[in-house]
Amino acid sequence: MAFNDQIKEFSIIFLLTSLLLSCGDKEETFPTDTLTNYIKENTTLPLVRDSLIACAAGGQENFMINEERPISIFYYPEGNATDFLYFETDSIAVDPDDLSQYRKKDLPDTPILNGYLRHFSRAAIEENIWCRVSFIKDGRLHISNAIRLKYNDLPSEFNPELVEIDQTESLSPIFNWQDGRIADNAIYFQVISDSDQNLLSGTYTFEQQFQFYNLDNVVLNIRDITPPPVLLPEEDYTFLMMAVSSDNWVNLIIEKSFDTE
């Protein structure tokens, strides 16, 4: 092989090697408003996936009515959490576990129950989409499970007639409820609050029953305090229940007031 041919061959090999190395070193980039990019911008914060408690509701009547923003994305901010953000996909036809599909949207974020819970308010959607919530707490970045917004297909139902309150023991009432028009519920969230909107208890059960303050069938307690909360005689309280599907959409909402003796 002639010397010039050797030089030419070496140059080609060098060029190909450089291209391969440059391709290997090239870091994948994502739009700046995606959840993936937000996580990359906060690489110093350990990521905690699917730990943030959140669900969404919309389309119900006579409960949290907002004609301009009828969809509510509820979440539990866990004490000293900060930097609450909302992300959603452009369509339902994506992998809900692909965080690069979620883009940040600026939505009104409002505390409820005197700040113990919060919710983002969103305008109506024409097609189902996925969404997630994130916040920072104790030096960690938390993101919620994927939530499927089913505002058009399966609007949430508000039906306080579906609960019965057994007050045989006035300070330990038993709440029994039925599923509404949608029975596809994976878990039930119960809140007891006082007349000043202070949250006394927040619990999850797989069963359609909760007794205040019996935790035998409770699978998650978001207000685990000592001493445990108590009801006082001759006071007004409110029972709130949300029946949540496996994709974190609220099928049924029940809210009913009761008085202790």
Choosing from 149, 184, 215, the residue where a domain stops is 149
User: Bigger pLDDT: 257 or 2?
Assistant: 257
Structure-token pair, residue 79: 């004490």
Q: At 205, list the tokens.
A: 């059960």
- Counted domains in the chain: 2
How many angstroms separate the Cα of 13 from the Cα of each of 17, 24, 26, 128, 197?
6, 16, 20, 51, 73
Are 162 and 244 found together in one domain? yes
Average pLDDT over residues 157-181: 98
Mean pLDDT, all residues of the chain: 92
* Assigned domain for 21 exists: no
Percent of the chain as helix, strand, coil, to the nearest 5: 15, 40, 45
Give residue 220's domain range.
157-259
Place of tokens 């990019």: 37
Q: From CA 147, how far away is CA 50, in angstroms rounded?
A: 11
For residue 245, tell me if it sits in a domain: yes
Query: Residue 10 pLDDT more than 60?
Result: no
DSSP output for 98-133: -GGG-EE----EEEETTTTEEEEEE---SS-EEEEE
Whole-structure pTM value? 0.89
Confidence bin at 63 (pLDDT 50/70/90): very high
CA angle 97, 100, 104 (to 5 degrees): 105
| 172 and 229 assigned to the same domain | yes
- CATH number of the structural domain spanning residue 218: 2.60.40.10
Let me know if residue 128 belongs to a domain. yes
169 and 200, same domain (yes or no): yes
Is residue 51 very low, low, confident or very high in pLDDT (cuts 50, 70, 90)? confident
User: Would residue 112 count as lying in a domain?
Assistant: yes
13 lies in some domain: no
Same structural domain for residues 97 and 74? yes
Confidence at 89, pLDDT banded by 50, 70, 90: very high
- Do residues 118 and 196 share a domain? no
Residue 81 sits in a domain whose CATH number is 2.60.40
Residue 107 counted as domain residue: yes
User: Looking at the structure, do residues 120 and 224 belong to the same domain, yes or no?
Assistant: no
pLDDT category, 2, cuts 50, 70, 90?
A: low
Closest CA to 258 of 166, 178, 188: 166
Residue 144 sits in the same domain as residue 170: no
- Cα 35 to Cα 76: distance, rounded to the nearest angstrom: 19
| Domain presence at residue 60 | yes
Weakest mean pLDDT among 3-12, 70-79, 129-138, 160-169: 3-12
pLDDT value of residue 7: 45
Cis status, amide bond into 173, omega within 30 of 0: no
**Residues 42 and 92 occupy one common structural domain:** yes
Is 82 part of any domain?
yes
Of 100, 123, 149, which residue constitutes the final position of a domain? 149
Assess whether 49 and 145 both reside in one domain. Answer: yes
Q: Do 176 and 131 fall into the same domain?
A: no
Q: Are residues 55 and 108 in the same domain?
A: yes
With bands split at pLDDT 50, 70 and 90, how would you rate the model's confidence at 9?
A: low
Across 202-210, average pLDDT:
98
